[in-house]
Chain A
């Protein structure tokens, strides 16, 4: 099976027998790879407001 998918060295992940990536990746990248393989929009982890909290209100320094 490894020969059919041309695998060597580092781990290779194949999604729905269609898309693939090589190497260990952070969770966020993994999720984006899956979303991309499903034809969905990826998540902008840096900018996305995922927790519903308005980040403007969060104090950025300790007095």
Chain B
């Protein structure tokens, strides 16, 4: 059963037609279903199966989401097989990891399943990367560009409600 309904598809298709300008690359780092069957020593079965659910749901959701617009491309990396090198290069800290944007290191990273309240978050992330102009007010953007002259790393923690 699809995660996004036909109506969701329609709404998102119209929304993306308005909001997307540049192409956006979406890289998902996950583990294969076969690997998910293993219960690792020291890891309790409940959190393992919950984690597997997150992986599965995340992949399915991103497959459906990226199929809605030709400007979105999904690449799935299995970190325990052929995706291992890329995961190491990008220093993936946990799974599932969604890397958005084409820069060498990936501009925006989303760790965890982008479901519930966080679904709109990832939509906005994708749209923000797709636009040419910043989403800030002009004045704030101007000051930020002038005054912030070094790399800044931001972590934003959200807890599911």
Residues of A within 8 A of B (CB): 1-2, 5, 7-9, 11-17, 27-28, 31, 34-35, 37-38, 40, 43, 50-51
Residues of B within 8 A of A (CB): 93-94, 111, 136-137, 139-140, 142-144, 147-148, 150, 152-159
What is the CA–CA distance of A55 and B102 in the complex, to the nearest angstrom?
Answer: 41
What is the CA–CA distance of A53 and B45 in the complex, to the nearest angstrom?
Answer: 64
Contact with B157, one of A2, A28, A35, A43 (Cβ below 8 angstroms):
A2
How far in angstroms is the closest Cβ of chain A from B160? 11
What is the CA–CA distance of A32 and B82 in the complex, to the nearest angstrom?
Answer: 42
B140-A13 in contact (CB<8A) = no
A1-B94 in contact (CB<8A) = yes
A27-B147 in contact (CB<8A) = no
**Which residues of chain B come closer than 8 Å to A12, judged between CB atoms?**
156-157
A50-B139 in contact (CB<8A) = yes
A11-B156 in contact (CB<8A) = yes
What is the CA–CA distance of A1 and B142 in the complex, to the nearest angstrom?
Answer: 33
A40-B147 in contact (CB<8A) = yes
- Closest B residue by C-beta to A15: B154
What is the CA–CA distance of A15 and B111 in the complex, to the nearest angstrom?
Answer: 17
- Closest A residue by C-beta to B150: A38
**Which residues of chain B come closer than 8 Å to A2, judged between CB atoms?**
157, 159
B152-A34 in contact (CB<8A) = yes
Known A31-B144, A35-B148: A5·B139 in contact at CB below 8 Å = no
A17-B150 in contact (CB<8A) = no
A15-B153 in contact (CB<8A) = yes
- Closest A residue by C-beta to B156: A13
- Closest A residue by C-beta to B158: A11
B147-A35 in contact (CB<8A) = yes
**Which residues of chain B come closer than 8 Å to A28, judged between CB atoms?**
140
What is the CA–CA distance of A2 and B97 in the complex, to the nearest angstrom?
Answer: 15
- A sample of 29 cross-chain residue pairs with beta-carbon separation below 8 angstroms, ordered by A number, consists of A1-B94, A1-B157, A2-B157, A5-B155, A5-B157, A7-B159, A9-B159, A11-B157, A11-B158, A12-B157, A13-B155, A13-B156, A13-B157, A14-B156, A15-B152, A16-B152, A16-B153, A17-B155, A27-B136, A28-B140, A31-B140, A31-B148, A34-B144, A37-B152, A38-B148, A38-B150, A38-B152, A43-B143, A50-B143
